[in-house]
Structure 1
Amino acid sequence: MARMKMNDICPTGHENQSGTHLEGNMQSRWDDSELRALTSSYVGKGVNEDLAIRTYTTRLLGREPRLVLHGGGNTSVKTRMVDALGVVHEVLCVKGSGWDMGTIEPAGLPAVELAPLAALARIPRLRDVDLVAAQRRLLLDSGAPNPSIEAVLHAILPHKHVDHTHSNAIISLTNQENGEELIRDLFPDTTVIPYVMPGFFLSQRIRKELDESPAPKHLILMCHGIFTFSDDPRQSYDDMIHMCTAAENRLDAGAPRPFVRTRLPARAPGVSEVAPLVRGALARPSDVEGRPVRWILDFRTSEQIRAFVDGADVSDYATRGNAAPDHSIRIKRFGLVAPAPASGELEVFAAALSASVRTYCNEYVAYFERNSARAGGGLTQLDPLPRVVYVPGVGLFGVGKSAKDAAVCADIAEATVDVISRAEGIGTFVALPEEDLFDIEYWSLEQAKLAKSLERPLHRQVAIVTGGAGGLGLATARLLKSEGAEVAILDIDAERVDLAAFETGAMPVVCDVTAPSSVEDAIHQVACRFGG
C-alpha cells in the first residue's frame, strides 16, 4: 500500500484535488488478446465458453465508473448447460445479487432455466419477493446467488447477449423536462420506455413493448439507464460505448460550468479542520454513555465538485433528487448542503452545521411519514441522517458506517454531481418524484440486502496505533481492525509502515512521535482520511 502524502488527501480550502471523475469521453476497452486469454483460462477449468466470454465483457462495462457503480447494472448471456443429472438446459446466465460487474467471476452469473423464466413476464401479478423465490427455483445450481431482479427482462429480450448500465450521460439527457425529445432526436431508432420501477413491473412493461414491436434495436429507460443487445458480444458492447459516447458529445455542446458561483468567505478552513466538525454534527447518542453512534467520512473534491458545491443555487439543484433511482438506497433522496465555513470561525460553522443536520433529519422524518402512509404503512423508518454532505468552499463528504461504505457514498455523490452538472449545462435537471425515490429507498428487496451487514464492536470508530509497524503495536492494529475499527498505523520506518498497512488494511502514516510537528501532521492526515 502506497503511503499517503499530506497534500494527497488533505487539501486546504483553495486546492483542487482530483476525485474519481474522468475527463474526456469514454473509449472502448475491448482487447481480443485479453478476451482469448481469459476465455481459454476459464474453458480450461471447465467453464462454459459463452459464460467465459460473458465474464470478460461484463468486466469491461463494470470497470467504467460512468456506466456502473457498486453493484449497479447487469448483463446476461443465453446458452446451454448441463445440470447435475446430465440433462441439457437452455439457460440464461445473468448477473447475481451481490456481485460487482468490474470484478465478476463466472460464479457471479448464475444459470436460470430460460423458458420458464421468460414466461414469468406474462403472469398478471407477482410480488417481487415471489419473483425472487420463483427465480431461485429455476436455478440449475441451488447454491448459486440470487439472479438479478431484472433477470426476467433479460430473458424476454430476443438476443444472446444483453448489457444494461446506468450511464451518467444517458441519465443527464433523460432527466430533463424534454428528456424524451432529446433521446429520440439523438437515437431515432431506439425504443424509449417511460420510467417504471425495476423488477416485475418493468419486465411486464417491456413484455408489452416486445409484443407490439418485437425487434427493438436498443432500449433507453427514462430516468434509469440503457440496454443494448446482440447475438454478437462485441456488437452489444460496442453499441453501449458508442451510444454513451454520443450522449456525452451531446452534453459537451452545453455549458461546461453552468453554475453561478456564490460569494464565499475569503478563506476556507482546511479539510482536517472541517471533517471532525462534520463527523461530530452527525454523531448521535447511544445506549452506552460517552459512546455516541459515529460515522466515517470520505472526502472528495475536484474542479467539477467545487463548481457544484460553490454554486449560488446549490441548495436547489443538490436537493431535487438523485441522478438514478437506485442511488436512493445508498445515499437517500439527496444529501445535506452545509453552510460555508470560514477560517477562524469554526465555532460558528459548527453551530450552523448542527442546525442544518437537525433540519435535514426533521424533513426526512416528514418525508417518511407522508410516503409511508401513501404506501399503506407497515414500514420501519431508516435513520434520518444524510449520507452525503456538500460543503461550499471545500468539497463533499461521503458518510458511512465504515470507510468502505463512506467511499461508496462518495463515489455515488460524485456521479450525482456529474449527472446534475452535465444536465444543467444543456437545460434543467429533473429528478424523479419523491414517491418513486421513496419506493426504491424502501424497496424490501434492497433493504434486506443492507440489513444483512452486521456491525462489529468497533465499527464506526477510528483508532491511531503508534509504533504500529511491528511487535505489540502491529498486534494491536490487527486486533482493532478485526473488531471493525478504521486504523491508522504510525511509525518512523516508511518501509515497515507500508508492509504493516498492506497486511492489516490500515492507513499508513510515517510519523516521528518525538517531533510535535510530525504528530500534528499525522493527526491532520487521519482526520482527512476518516473524518476525525
Structure 2
Amino acid sequence: MRPTDLEALERFSAAIGREPAQVQAAGGNTSLKAEGILWVKASGFWLADAETRDIFVPVRLDRILGGIARDLADPVSAAVVGEANPMGLRPSIETTLHALLPHRVVVHTHSVRTIALAIREDAEALVASRLHGLRWAFIPYCKPGLPLTRRTAEALRQRPADVLILGNHGLVVGGDSLGEAESLLEEVERRLDAPAEPAAAGDLTALAAAAAGLNLRPVRHERAHGLAMNERWAAWCSRGSLYPDHVIFLGPGAVLLPDTGEAGRVAVAAAAQRASKLFILPGAGVLVPTDTTPSADELALCLALVMERVPADAKLRYLTAEDEAELLSWDAEKYRQALAQARQGG
C-alpha cells in the first residue's frame, strides 16, 4: 500500500524540517496522493524526523472530500486507514487543506521569508508584485484546519493556484511531482526573500544571572537573543501575536521585562496568568519558563528570523484576542503540545 515515492517525500521533508527558516518544531506539513490515498504528516510530529520515524498517516481522499462537501465537523477521523496506521497517529491539522488542493504533492511551511510579508497590513500587495507570473492566491488569516480549508476553497473557485500565501501564517505550494513542488518552493522563497538586518549578540552572562532570579532559562538559540538587542523588534513583539504556532508554543505575544528584581518577578507572574511564555530582557536576551519544551526554543528563533526581515517602516497586523483564544483552547493543539512534551523527553 505504501507508495514507492513516499521515501523521497520523507527525505525532502526531513531536509526542510532541519531548516529553521522554513519549518520550526512540529510546524509545517507535507503530503502525497497515490491511488486514492492521501499520505499526510501526522499531527505533532517534526518533519525533521521524517527519515527516522514513521510520521505519515494514510487517509482515504474521497472520504475527506465527501466530508468537506457535506460540511462535517470532522471529515478526517473516519477517513484514516486504520490497518495502515498501527500507532494510531492523528493526521495533520491541515489534512483537509492538503486534500482540497488538486496537486499530487503539497508542501506547507512556516517560511520566515513568507511570514515576514504575511504579517504586514499590505501583505497582499507586496506579494502580488513578487509573484507575478505564478498561479497564486492570498488567503487572509483564519483559524488553521477546516476554517482555512473553507476560505481556500472560496479563493480557488475564483481562480486555480499552485501557491498559497496564508496571511499571518505561512506558505503552501503544490505540484504534480515532488520535483515540481520542490522547484516551486525554491522559486517562491527566492522571490519573497529580503535582506536580513543583523542583530547584536545577547549578553549571556547578564541573562544567566537574570534567569536564576526569575525562575526562567535562556532560549537555546543565540540568534534568538537578538530580539532583546533591537528596540524596534522588542516593541513589535510585545504588542501581540503574529502567527499561530507562536501562540501554541509560546503563548500570546511577548513580555518586556522591566528589570530582574521585584518588578520583573511581578511581570513573570502576570504573564503566567495569560499563558505568555516569551520574555525579552532588553539589552540582554530572551528567556522562557524552565519547563518549556524544545518547541519553544524553535519558535523563539523563528520570531527573531522573521523580525530580521521586516523593514522599519512596516505596519504589522496582529492576531486578535479572539484568534489567540481559539488557538489556546483548541483540542487539536493541546494534542500537539502533549506530543511536544514527549519528544526528546520534554
Relative to the length of structure 2, the TM-score reads 0.87
Aligned letter for 2:62? A
Q: CA deviation at 1:97?
A: 1.9
> 1:62-81 residue pairs with structure 2 within 5 A?
62-80=17-35
Counterpart in the other structure of 1:5 = none
Larger Rg: 1
Paired residue secondary structure (1:219) = strand
Corresponding position: 1:152 with 2:96: yes
Counterpart in the other structure of 2:244 = 325
Counterpart in the other structure of 1:438 = 325
Q: CA deviation at 1:211?
A: 3.3
Aligned letter for 1:233? L
Paired residue secondary structure (1:229) = strand
Contact 1:423 1:429 in 2 (8 A): no
> 1:507-518 residue pairs with structure 2 within 5 A?
none
Q: CA deviation at 1:107?
A: 2.8
> 1:138-177 residue pairs with structure 2 within 5 A?
138-139=81-82, 141-143=84-86, 144-177=88-121
Cα shift readout 1:180-204 (whole Å, capped 9, x = no counterpart): 1111111133111111211112222
Counterpart in the other structure of 2:262 = 351
Aligned letter for 2:329? Y
Residue of structure 2 aligned with 1:94, choices 30, 36, 40: 40
Corresponding position: 1:448 with 2:335: yes
Identical-residue share of aligned pairs (%): 25
Q: Residue 94 and residue 451 in structure 1: after superposition, are their counterparts in 2 closer, same or farther (change >3 A)?
A: closer
Q: For structure 1, which runs of at least 5 residues remain unmatched after alignment? A: 1-45, 81-89, 260-266, 283-295, 341-348, 365-383, 456-483, 487-532
Counterpart in the other structure of 2:78 = 134
Cα shift readout 1:367-417 (whole Å, capped 9, x = no counterpart): xxxxxxxxxxxxxxxxx4x32221122111233426xx1x32122112112
1: distance between equivalents of 2:119 and 2:340? Answer: 32
Contact 1:111 1:140 in 2 (8 A): no
Contact 1:399 1:410 in 2 (8 A): no
Q: Residue 270 and residue 452 in structure 1: after superposition, are their counterparts in 2 closer, same or farther (change >3 A)?
A: closer
Counterpart in the other structure of 2:12 = 57
Contact 2:33 2:105 in 1 (8 A): yes
Q: Residue 399 and residue 167 in structure 1: after superposition, are their counterparts in 2 closer, same or farther (change >3 A)?
A: same
Paired residue secondary structure (2:5) = helix
Q: For structure 2, which runs of at least 5 residues remain unmatched after alignment? A: none
Q: Residue 47 and residue 134 in structure 1: after superposition, are their counterparts in 2 closer, same or farther (change >3 A)?
A: closer
Q: Residue 132 and residue 235 in structure 1: after superposition, are their counterparts in 2 closer, same or farther (change >3 A)?
A: closer
Counterpart in the other structure of 1:230 = 175
Q: CA deviation at 1:173?
A: 0.5
Residue of structure 1 aligned with 2:141, choices 192, 195, 200: 195
Cα shift readout 1:437-472 (whole Å, capped 9, x = no counterpart): 2211221211134357889xxxxxxxxxxxxxxxxx
Contact 1:298 1:399 in 2 (8 A): no
Corresponding position: 1:399 with 2:335: no
Counterpart in the other structure of 2:256 = 337
Paired residue secondary structure (1:397) = strand
1: distance between equivalents of 2:244 and 2:341? Answer: 25
Q: CA deviation at 1:76?
A: 0.6
Contact 2:31 2:38 in 1 (8 A): yes
1: distance between equivalents of 2:330 and 2:33? Answer: 28
2: distance between equivalents of 1:183 and 1:223? Answer: 13
Q: Residue 119 and residue 271 in structure 1: after superposition, are their counterparts in 2 closer, same or farther (change >3 A)?
A: same
Residue of structure 2 aligned with 1:206, choices 152, 177, 187: 152
Aligned letter for 1:229? G
- Alpha-carbon RMSD across the aligned residues, in angstroms, is 2.9
Q: Residue 61 and residue 272 in structure 1: after superposition, are their counterparts in 2 closer, same or farther (change >3 A)?
A: closer
Q: CA deviation at 1:315?
A: 5.6
Corresponding position: 1:420 with 2:307: yes
Aligned letter for 1:162? V
